[in-house]
Amino acid sequence: MVLNSDADTEELILRIKGACSFIERYCNRKFAKGNYSDVYTVRQDGSLILDNPPVSTINRICYSNGGWLNLANTTAYAPSYSTGEGFLTLSQFNAGVQSSQTFEYSAYPMLSSLATAINSYGNGWAANVTTGTTSTGYPTSQLPTSDIVAFQYGTAGTGSTQLLQWQSYESLLAPNIWPTKGYYLQYDVSSGILDWYFPRGLRLRVDYTGGFEPVPEPIQQVAARMVMEASRKKSETLGSYSYTLEDLDSLPNSDRKLLGYYKDRRV
């Protein structure tokens, strides 16, 4: 592809991003090193298998069985709340008219500041933070809003309701969460396999650093060949810079074997 203008450069960048995105979807993993925060269910053998290896560090492990932010709305009709990745939305009907307000956690970093904002919003809503400290002595009012569990939904018209929040997973939670003997003998964090004994079926959030730096050369080469092949085809379907299995089939068998080797976190 000859670059004669800024538009050509922009198109090339978009094609590269499209190829990289396709390879990651096909291989079911991320390659570039970065910080990840994902929720996993403990396997039957008590272990966790993290995505995006090699894993550099485990930064935090969290569980959720309660929280500290309490919501109530006894005056509005059908009040409800929902949470997403980084925000809380409150909705209600007043005099037959529905309204809602979204609170971005970035604007209210602590539970206490979020509760203050909700109380200022009004519309029947009242919020407070359960007073006290965590088991490690941290004031609950200063807990981060970013630890509120995403994708909650509920109503608040019959009294106070409590939002679930991620809490640091501590050894005193239960006696059987201590790492097994094998952990001390052969544990390798880079594999992304936490060979501990967590209670099976438990949902945990793991914050970790994983991925390659730099991205493996074979992956770079496959992406480059996909971009070059797409440029030669001048396909209309690449106007949106999306790649399909047909584009993969046009690669030589050697490239497809390389992607197969990296697929589903096998290295």
Please, which residues have CB within 8 angstroms of residue 261's CB and are 6 or more apart in sequence? Answer: 218, 267
Name which of 174, 150, 181, 173 is nearest 163 in CA terms.
Answer: 150
What are the sequence ranges of the domains in the chain?
Answer: 14-30+213-265, 34-63+171-210, 69-165
Give the residue ranges of the chain where pLDDT is below 50.
Answer: 172, 175, 179-185, 234-240, 266-267
Name which of 50, 46, 63 is nearest 149 in CA terms.
Answer: 63
Lookup: tokens for 70: 């309490």
At 236 the pLDDT is 40
Phi, psi angles (nearest 5°) of residue 44:
-60, -30
Please, which residues have CB within 8 angstroms of residue 165's CB and are 6 or more apart in sequence? Answer: 64, 66, 67, 68, 69, 143, 147, 148, 149
**Residue written as tokens 């960048």?**
13
At 9 the pLDDT is 65
At 156 the pLDDT is 87
pLDDT tens-digit map of 20-47: 888 888 887 888 889 999 999 988 888 8
At 8 the pLDDT is 59
Please, which residues have CB within 8 angstroms of residue 256's CB and are 6 or more apart in sequence? Answer: 248
